[in-house]
Structure 1
Amino acid sequence: MSRSTTDSASSVTLPTPKERRRLREALALSEEQVAEAMGVTKATVKAWETGRSSPRGRKREAYAKLLGASEAAEATRASSGASGTPPGASGASSASGASGASASAKPDREPQPAPSPAPAPVKPVPREPVLPSVNVRPKAAVKRAAKPPGAPSAVRAVAPGPARKGAPKPQERLKPAAAEPAPAPEPARPPAAPGLTPEQAFDALYAYAAPGLVHQTYLLTGRRRLSRESVEYAFHHAWEHWPEVAVDADPVGWVRAAAYEYALSPWHRLRRAHKHPDSPPTEANRRALLAALLELPPPYRRTVLLYDGLGLDLPDTAAETEASTPAAANRLLHARTVLGQRIPELAEPEALHRRLRALVSEAPTATLPAARVVRTGSERRTRRWTRTALGVTAVLICVTAFTAATAPTRYLPVEVPGETVNGVPVRGGPQKLGPEDVELRDRLRSQPNPGPERLIPSAE
């Protein structure tokens, strides 16, 4: 591959990870189909859609063509050039912008007919995706992708799953939400003026999102102290990775995911301060709803809060909980069923959506430290961990050097000194001969024994 080809392939702009998932579902493609078309594994495609990695080289260009992102970028540049507006002046690009651009009109000029047109990348005919638990058509997915971030989804439909206790009937499909005067959706990011320093941008994000996140985390855990600790940890983590958070399409979602993961960690059960939830509120309706939420498993509780409480659509909810769209839909169905059984007036999805929306949008009352305290605490903790790591590394190096310097060059077996052993019998056999015994022995050997003649055999 030449250098020019590599540079052109690497310059292809890909949509955000959430938008990649939306575009794939809009084309009615599964992860296995995309992996087979790109020549990679399903895990690699999942990593591309969660943002853990991105394709490079020719695969990046092919992936952009498969999703239709390159055509959308060319159409946007052509329309901005025709109107005399410089690229990027029409507003910041968001996760829904790429899908909206792909559905926009092409340039005005008519393509010249060619006798042998170049083969275009084959795209599958849009069809209804076969999902075990989601009733989402490609057109609905395209409309959802074209909506601005944070807009409440009108799709409340989830296809039938396997028959089980508490699950809806196979013919049941959740109805679209009734047209109701819903509150205005919250923006995905705080308003930020150009030219802000990293510290000012972090302080603005903290002041905008921290109080609401503490209230949401309390609804997830039922523990006020743990909710404040989770939000502080999330913002500590965000300041440590601020270059990544600053360019993220949804920084509030980034911090929210970190706070939820920390708050729902099962290790908090081993801490005495967070072993039991706090005392429930005095209001009967809130107490019943919070008790019913806390009875749900943590993934189900998080899914219903994101979907019905915050108004995220199903793909965004699945991406934030790191689950597939069918799994998120099944969790949502189960959570709604359990909440409807516990609180009969919330059996309808619209009623549950209104109650959770009102509960989430309550004015937070938690007192949090200042943003500067959170930033300095994060920096202090980073310095402490860095110094600890350097100290441990230096100690290991010193111990290794001392051991290498003092170790013997060859092995010398250790000689064990003799010891007196008791209980062993005296050595047997004849005793040592004295002088008289030696003289008698010599005389017996030299002189024959007096007495009768011995019988000596003769040779005759």
Structure 2
Amino acid sequence: MTQAQLGARVGVSRETVRGWETGRSTPAGREREAYAKLLNAVAREKGMTAGQGTTRPAQSAQPAQPAQPGSRRAVVVAKPGGAVSPAVGTVKETAQEAAQEAAKGAPQEIPQEAAAEIPEGTAEETPEGTAAALTPAQAFDALYAFCAPALVRQTYLLTGRRELARESVERAFQLAWERWPEVARDRDPASWVRAAAYEFAVSPWHRFRLRFRHPEPPAADAADRVLMAVLLRLPPSHRRTLLLYDGVGLGLPETAAETEATTPAAANRLMGAREAVAAHLPELADPEALHHRLAELASTERLRAAQPSAVRLGSERRARFWTRAAIAFTVALIGSTALTLRTAPTKYEPPVPAGETVRGVPPRMAPGALSEAEQELRAKLREELQDGPERLVPLGR
């Protein structure tokens, strides 16, 4: 069934279906119900059981393929569609070693059929009955043991800092554990974690952290130092596109989807990054040579990821801390509101205004010198008798 046919049956456009399948968006509401009913109907038509298909329990995206005895492979992030690139990954972990690492922090022992490699594709490749035997913690530990070693090396190529690479991977897996039901049902959980690690690693806020203001010791080999310097001179978006396409081995559409860009934009970034690398290192103009050179550069650094149990406990501690902080803030807000209501007056009392200086009234003036007419009048008044029988009367004119 094509994406257009699927969209017509669900009632959405082909672009919406493509967004669901690439992980850019998630169906919700009626679209989610219609999508689930359609997939269940298709599964029943093919004679599949109710637990298989795309609607899977939280433990579906787990390792379940048995590995060949003595086989070795590069532990790297699986590409959508099943193809796995050996670039930018460790070449010394076997399937049994990854399963043993995953079992260290698990509450129960991982079953024998689960102690194998992660399937090189989506969760639908897991054999029936294997996923149900794993608890969420065991499933997370298996995914971590499969992805973390190579992802630390990839993030080192992206940032050039060993400590930041380890921190980015741990933060990405802690976020995945917090959202484990969503990640476990994702069609490519490894890509989900990789995208989260890359986003944290290239964040511009790291430049303000004191621990990352000083450069780290460079690589021992001179050629490795030159290649790392060339990579770090690239813009973060170009560097990330080059690492995904020529390092991890993703296709151009998958690279564009993971970097949240259009396919032409991703192609332009890739070509610009290749030209910049070839300008300083002409021997790496061939994409195949660049691919192997990135793998060698990542393998030379002895970068070890933390134990999966420590990552899970760190995620749980962070979740408890923020939960308690939110509760404390809510309690403080409620207490301050109650105190305000308790102490606030019940009626309005107008405030007494402060005294003001009255302006516009002329100042008091002392009497000045008398004029000649006033002096004559005063002399005349003084000459007349004040208490005699005569009285002063006005004279008519």
Alignment partner of 1:415 is 2:352? yes
SS at match of 1:279: coil
How many angstroms does 1:315 deviate by?
Answer: 1.0
Match of 1:269 among 207, 216, 227: 207
SS of residue matched to 1:338: helix
Instruction: Tell me how far apart the structure 2 counterparts of residues 448 and 236 of structure 1 sit (CA, whole Å).
Output: 119
The residue number in structure 2 matching 1:455 is 395
User: In the alignment, does 2:250 pair up with 1:312?
Assistant: yes
Q: CA deviation at 1:403?
A: 1.2
- Residue 240 of structure 1 is aligned with which of 162, 167, 178? 178
- Among 303, 315, 319, which residue is 1:382 paired with? 319
Would the aligned equivalents of 1:340 and 1:346 in 2 still touch at CA under 8 Å? yes
The 1-side partners of 2:394 and 2:318 are apart by: 112
Alignment of 1:51-200 (within 5 A): 51-54=24-27, 57=30, 74=42, 78=45, 80-81=46-47, 86-87=48-49, 148-151=81-84, 187-188=120-121, 194-200=132-138
- Worse overlay, 259-268 or 200-209: 200-209
In the superposition, the TM-score normalised over structure 1's length comes to 0.58
**Which amino acid in the other structure matches residue 286 of structure 2?**
E
Q: For 1:44 and 1:407, how far apart are their aligned partners in 2?
A: 57
For the structure 1 residues 149 and 401, does the alpha-carbon distance in structure 2 shift closer, same or farther, using more than 3 Å as the test?
Answer: same
Q: In the superposition, relative to structure 1, how do residues 88 and 293 fare at CA in structure 2: closer, same or farther (>3 Å)?
A: farther
Distance, in Å, in 2 between the alignment partners of 1:357 and 1:375 is 29
1:394 and 2:331 matched: yes
Is the contact made by 1:234 and 1:259 (CA closer than 8 Å) also made in structure 2? yes
Contact 1:221 1:277 in 2 (8 A): no
Structure 1 gap ranges (5+): 1-14, 28-33, 95-145, 153-184, 431-443
Aligned residue in 2 for 1:116: none
Q: Which position in structure 1 is the counterpart of 2:140?
A: 202
1:298 to 198, 211, 236: 236
> Residue 261 of structure 1: CA displacement?
0.6
* Gap change, CA 1:39 and 1:428, over 3 Å in 2: farther
Shift of 1:399: 0.9
| CA drift at 1:219 | 0.7
Instruction: Report what 2:73 is aligned to.
Output: none
AA matched with 1:367? R
Aligned partners of 1:222 and 1:277 also within 8 Å: no
Find out whether 1:352 has 2:325 as its counterpart: no
Asked if 1:214 is matched to 2:152, the reply is yes
**Cα separation, 2, equivalents of 1:205 and 1:302:** 22
2:277 alignment counterpart = 339
Post-superposition Cα deviations, 1:316-359, rounded to whole Å, max 9, x if no partner, equal 11111111111111110110110110101011222222322444
1: CA distance between counterparts of 2:263 and 2:354? 77
Residue correspondence of structure 1 range 419-458 to structure 2 within 5 A: 427-428=364-365, 450=390, 454-456=394-396
Residue in structure 1 matching 2:308, options 368, 371, 387: 371
Structure 2: distance between partners of 1:49 and 1:249: 8
Deviation at residue 370 of structure 1 after TM alignment: 2.1
**TM-score, scaled to structure 2:** 0.66
> What percent identity do the matched residue pairs reach?
48
Q: Distance in 2 between matches of 1:186 and 1:290?
A: 32
How big is each residue's C-alpha offset from its partner over 1:253-290, in whole Å with a ceiling of 9 and x where there is no partner? 11111111111000001112112442221212221211
C-alpha spacing 1:208/1:337, structure 2 compared with 1 (3 Å): same
Q: Could you say if the C-alpha distance between residues 48 and 235 of structure 1 is closer, same or farther in structure 2, counting changes exceeding 3 Å?
A: closer
Q: What CA distance in whole angstroms lies between the structure 1 residues aligned with 2:290 and 2:38?
A: 41
The one of 198, 207, 216 aligned to 1:260: 198
Residue 211 of structure 1 contacts residue 364 of structure 1 at CA under 8 Å; is this kept in 2? no
> What is the distance in 2 between the residues matched to 1:93 and 1:418?
80
**Per-residue displacement from partner, 1:68-108 (whole Å, max 9, x unpaired)?**
x969974x755x44xxxx4479x8669xxxxxxxxxxxxxx
**TM-aligned CA distance change 1:73 to 1:325, over 3 Å:** farther
Distance 1:70 1:387, change over 3 A: closer
Contact 2:39 2:53 in 1 (8 A): no
AA partner of residue 170 (structure 2): E
